[in-house]
């Protein structure tokens, strides 16, 4: 039944058609809204003058760099906290004290230290992804089968060998889920930094389009940010399933 399959698209298509009709008649010349067809044309122009690729590369690069730093440190901290209960008890109050601070509040501080650019964005993304990755890695380590840790003890493995040869392989599937969540956070924070302060990337391109009263281009960037976020998540979800299938985890 091909018509049944199209049902999910009906409401969005109707809304887009309504926006198209409104923006071409009553709302013509509006500074806020533009017809979707004009937004698509604006996207095409950004594609041909390569600004689409430059902005996307900056945002994705900033998000990836920040995620690499935040996830790397978070993984290390989470493994230490998961393997050493005494360290976890000692650190919990300090963590609960620092974690409620919204990472975006650090944008002004990062701006002061790094100025504008890639590092300031990566720094805020790193802080934003560090806490969730720490907590998810800690939870993953705690769910490792106790027998495996006993095997490590019987084999007389050093703490380093125990962490890298027993624990790390055991938590890979859960870590990948954590990394996918982290990637979502990283992209959101990267765009937020660009909208709030950093004059680069997708967020800034979108703000600039709004400030220069070009609603078609603004909607084109907004749609593109949505598509990129959707694609990154779908790609990682696919990779996660493939990884789980290969490792034989449901």
Partner 1 sequence: MGAPGVHRPAAWSAWAISPDALALLGTLLALWWLASHGEWVNRAFLPTPEATLASLAAGLGLQGRPGALGGFLLATLQRVLLGGLLAAAAGVGLGALLGSSAAARVWLQPGLEFLRPLPASAVIPLAIAVFGLSPSMVLAVVVFGAMWPVLLATLHGMASVPRQLREVAALLQLGRVATVTRIALPHALPDIFSGVRLAMTVALIVSVVGEMVASQPGLGQALLLAARSFRAADLFAGLVLLGATGSAIHAMLAFAERRLLAWQRP
Provide the binding-site residues for partner 1, judged by CB under 8 A.
7-12, 15, 31-33, 86, 89-94, 96-98, 100-109, 111-113, 184, 187-188, 191-192, 195-197, 203, 206-207, 209-210, 215, 218-219, 222, 225-226, 229-230, 233
Q: Which is nearer to partner 1, 46 or 152 (CB)?
A: 46
State the Cα–Cα distance between residues 57 and 55, nearest whole angstrom.
5
- How many Å apart are CA 193 and CA 125, to the nearest integer? 9
Nearer to partner 1, 116 or 165 (CB): 116
Cα 150 from chain centroid?
Answer: 36
Q: How far is the CB of 68 from partner 1 (least distance, A)?
A: 20
CB of residue 197 to partner 1, shortest distance in Å: 7
Cβ burial of 211 (10 Å; 0-12, 13-18, 19+) is exposed
Closest CA to 178 of 212, 136, 149: 136
Are 111 and 197 contacting, i.e. CB atoms less than 8 angstroms apart? yes
Residue 98 neighbours by CB under 8 Å, 6+ apart: none
Any idea what DSSP says for residue 197? T
Q: How far is the CB of 105 from partner 1 (least distance, A)?
A: 5
Nearer Cβ to partner 1, position 152 or 187? 187
Task: Tell me how far, at minimum, the Cβ of 225 lies from partner 1, in Å.
Answer: 5
CA distance 160 to 211: 54
For partner 1, which is the closer residue by CB, 152 or 201?
A: 201
Collapsing DSSP states into helix, strand and coil, what is residue 248?
A: coil
Nearest to partner 1 of 72, 223 (CB atom): 223
Q: Smallest distance from the beta carbon of 149 to partner 1, in angstroms?
A: 22
| Contact call for residues 181 and 132 (beta carbons, < 8 A) | yes
Distance (Å, whole) CA 160 – CA 99? 28
**What is d(CA 209, CA 45) in angstroms, rounded to the nearest whole number?**
13
**Min. distance of Cβ 118 from partner 1 in angstroms?**
19
Instruction: Give 37 or 153: the residue with its C-beta nearer to partner 1.
Output: 37
């Amino acid at each position: 039944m091909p018509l049944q399959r199209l049902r999910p698209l009906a409401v969005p298509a109707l809304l887009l058609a309504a926006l198209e009709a409104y923006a071409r008649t009553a709302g013509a010349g509006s500074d806020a809204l533009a017809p979707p067809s004009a937004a698509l044309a604006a996207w095409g122009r950004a594609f041909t003058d390569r600004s689409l690729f430059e902005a996307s590369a900056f945002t994705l690069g900033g998000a990836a760099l920040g995620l690499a730093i935040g996830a790397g440190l978070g993984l290390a901290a989470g493994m230490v906290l998961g393997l050493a209960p005494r360290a976890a008890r000692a650190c919990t109050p300090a963590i609960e004290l620092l974690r409620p601070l919204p990472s975006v509040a650090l944008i002004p501080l990062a701006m002061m230290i790094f100025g504008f650019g890639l590092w300031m964005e990566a720094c805020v993304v790193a802080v934003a992804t560090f806490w969730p990755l720490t907590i998810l890695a800690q939870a993953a380590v705690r769910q490792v089968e106790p027998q495996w840790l006993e095997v490590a003890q019987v084999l007389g493995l050093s703490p380093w060998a125990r962490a890298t040869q027993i624990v790390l392989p055991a938590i890979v599937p859960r870590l990948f889920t954590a990394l996918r969540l982290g990637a979502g956070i990283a992209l959101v924070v990267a765009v937020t930094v660009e909208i709030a302060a950093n004059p680069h990337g997708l967020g800034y391109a979108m703000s600039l389009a709004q400030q220069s009263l070009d609603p078609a281009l603004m909607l084109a960037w907004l749609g593109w940010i949505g598509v990129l976020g959707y694609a990154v998540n779908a790609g990682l979800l696919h990779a996660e399933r493939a990884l789980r299938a290969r490792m034989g985890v449901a």
